[in-house]
Amino acid sequence: MAVSTSVKTIREAWFQLNGVMCLYKPTQISWKQMRNTLAFNISRDMNELEQDAPRKYVKIESLTNGTNVDLPAPASYSVTTIPNLADHELVRGPAILADDLRLQPGNLLGFRTAGVVVVGLNKGNRSLHNLNLSRPTSAYHIKSQFGLATDSHWDDGKVWEKTTFIHISRDKLDRMLASIQASNQKKMFEYCGVDPQSQTAYELASKGLLRPAVNGPPLIYGIKCVHFNPPDFTLEIHCANENEQYMAALIHDLGLSLKTTAVCQQIRCIRYGCFTVDDALLRKHWSLEYLPDHMSHCHTKLRSLPDIGPQLATYDRLQPSQNPPTKS
Amino acid sequence: MLRHSLRFKHVKFLLGYTTIRNQAQCAGKGVVASAVQQNNLPVISFQKPGPHVLDDELRLIPSQEIDNPLVVDSSFEGVTPLFSPSFNLASLVNKSELLQLMVKLGVSIHQWERKTDVHSWVMALDFKKDVQPIIQFLVDQGVASDSLGLFFTKNPYILKSSIEDLEIRINYLHSKKFSSEMISRILSRNPHWLLFSPERIDNRLGFVQQTFHLTGDELRAVATKESRLITSSLQGIKLMNFGFKEEMGFEAHQIKELLLAKPKLWLMNKSMLVDRFDYLHNTMKMDYESVLRFPAVLTCRGFRIKQRHEFLCHLNRAQYDPKLPRYVSPLQIISDSDTYFAVHIARSSIQDFNDFCKTM
């Protein structure tokens, strides 16, 4: 066990099973499968530790044979204490079941999306909940390809259309991405009921408070091209409230707006809040050997975040002295 | 269990009724029904009860034939039931010798409760009469005594079988020229085999022989190597053959070769197997001969092969042609730990390999 050599029993280890972990979700796996694998691995490793000693079973047996109703009760008994077999592993079953572990995802990635998933275990779900309240943004790398349009917007879907892409240059792409970013940021101010040209908007944006208060339409905070080698290109997107369908459709629409077509090859979440791909654990490390150390590393990371609390921009939250925004 | 707690003698004592209920007396009893038609319901007529017997359940007035309940009944065993009703076997294990012996053998009582209905009949078994002969029989046939626990966990129903049936089944195998080592391997690896009657086993062996055109020796080899093939779904075998022939494109003699080398493939999930072969053949450009030479590549999990192949491609070391230098064999792709693979075969480091996996 990686955490400390002194933890030998299941009972001790159980109290360490609280925290937030950052895992690398492989592609073609649903959250349910991921949770089941994780829960199975943890409970399997836990059950290999030292079990509690069985309770005592007191056996009282009469030493005289048979009984006659006319005689008084026999005076001699044998009293023995044996380990209670009902506590034996084979009779009672495993000490920790997969269902005993409460695992919640911080961000839900799609089936085909790989990347960082933040998971809370038992009491760690409270920290996870607080993290989610601060509405962290996620960052994605989307590997895409010009020249193809399919029904699922992925490269292995049914091909609808094939187009040329020679006319696309780097700066054409960059200009298109910049306009997408700008229109998204304008939308952000509109959702807050604030005129983007006003002083209020500047103040809110400079404090970094503009996050959607509730689950709504996806918002892109930043989008740029990190790799351009036609037909392949890779985009980096920083966003909130996103989902896999939206990002695949975004690539498709991007292709159309550049007078060509585009499909996704791979969507990878590289950051959720302060947790990046470097912190994430690969599937082969999802076991009790690596998790406790990892959870304490994630805990340190969370503690080092500035404690600003869930401050979300809504019109009602503005101070009464400030003028309400006016459309210019 | 409940039967034990409601033994007639206990009931007799509690209700003060000593004569044993036999068939003749039971026949005479009946439910008294109202002959009067009420609310236009149809009249149901029953056998009229005898004059000396009332409804057993509501027996309040002892008849003159019942003996004085204060007189000692020599066959009386005690007032408490042997086992009270329970929702698991764990509460009975401290009192039951049979269950204690099972635990000593290493049988998982917990698994019995989870997966089977064994609890409804296991308490009625007698160790010396029922269970002991079967344990002796299995050990004589070559099942290791420390694997008996696993055997009974997986197949508790054998405790209900009769020794004669089991002997007939073993004799059938001997008549089909299975040697003792073969039989002990079959029984150890497949606890369910002995539940099948000789006719069923014969049908299944015949089916496998005809489907794959196997000789007697080949059939025996396959049945010994993977006896679960014979006791599991025959429909599954047909489906898998379709997969090999139509979907993967193997020829009949190649399918037979695969069966003799790795019969376990027929127990796998067909669509998963087809996807794996698709990746090996179309993406990694592995031809049929390579797959036949190393059938184990088909049993390796898809993501492992993908990770390692893509890593080798990333390092320009994905060379699978044995005639060229720096050849990587399929066995090297699927075996050993990631660390060994990264260092010795990919000539890189495990850190690079892990970082690469995070880009996939």
pLDDT in tens, B208-219: 999 999 999 999
Query: What is the C-alpha separation between B79 and B117, in angstroms, rounded?
Result: 29
d(CA A272, CA A280): 11
pLDDT category, B73, cuts 50, 70, 90? low
Q: Which residue has the tokens 């796998």?
A: B268
A84 contact residues in B (CB cutoff 8 A)? 94
Interface probe with A: pick from B73, B93, B357, most Cβ of A within 10 Å: B93
Q: Does A68 touch chain B (CB under 8 A)?
A: yes
- Alpha-carbon distance of B296 to B257, in angstroms, equals 13
Asked if A77 reaches chain B (Cβ–Cβ under 8 Å), the answer is: no
Per-residue pLDDT of chain A (328 residues; tens, 9 = 90+): 334 556 889 999 999 899 999 999 999 999 999 999 999 999 999 999 999 999 999 988 777 655 555 555 556 778 889 999 999 999 999 999 999 999 999 999 999 999 999 999 999 999 999 888 888 899 999 999 999 999 999 999 999 999 999 999 999 999 999 999 999 988 888 777 777 788 888 887 787 667 776 677 898 999 999 999 999 999 999 998 899 999 999 999 999 999 999 999 999 999 999 999 999 999 999 999 999 999 999 999 998 887 655 444 433 333 444 444 444 3
| A26 interfaces chain B, CB cutoff of 8 Å | yes
Question: pLDDT band for position B72 (50/70/90)?
Answer: low
DSSP at A50: B
| Cβ neighbours of B114 in A, within 8 Å | 93
A91·B89 Cβ contact <8 A: yes
Contact between B357 and A282 using a beta-carbon 8 Å cutoff: yes
Chain B contact set for A94 (CB, 8 A): 110
Distance CA A220, CA A240 (A): 7
**From the centroid of its chain, how far is CA A317?**
30
CA distance A90 to chain B (A): 5
CA torsion B93→B98→B99→B105, rounded to 10°?
140
Indicate the pLDDT class of residue B71, thresholds 50, 70 and 90: low
- pLDDT (mean) for B174-193: 95
CB A18 within 8 A of CB A122: yes
Burial of A239 (C-beta count, 10 Å sphere; 0-12/13-18/19+): buried
Give the CA distances from residue B153 to residues A9, B115, B267, in Å, rounded to whole numbers and listed in that order.
27, 10, 21
* Cβ-nearest to B90 among A92, A282, A284: A92
Amino acid letter, residue B127: F
Please provide residue A186's backbone torsions phi and psi, each rounded to the nearest 5 degrees. Answer: -65, -40
pLDDT at B68: 63
pLDDT score of B165 more than 80: yes
How many Cβ atoms are within 10 Å of B97's Cβ, its own excluded?
Answer: 9
Q: How confident is the model at residue B19 (pLDDT cuts 50, 70, 90)?
A: very low
Mean pLDDT of B95-104: 92
Per-residue pLDDT at B13 exceeds 50? no
Share of chain B above pLDDT 90, in %: 67
Rg (Cα) of chain B, in Å, rounded? Answer: 32
CB contact under 8 A, B100 and A85: yes
B215 burial level (CB within 10 Å; 0-12, 13-18, 19+): exposed
Q: Is the pLDDT of residue B330 over 50?
A: yes
Closest CB to B93 among A68, A86, A93: A86
Contacts of A54 in chain B (CB under 8 A): none
Q: If you average pLDDT over residues B269-281, what whole number do you get?
A: 96
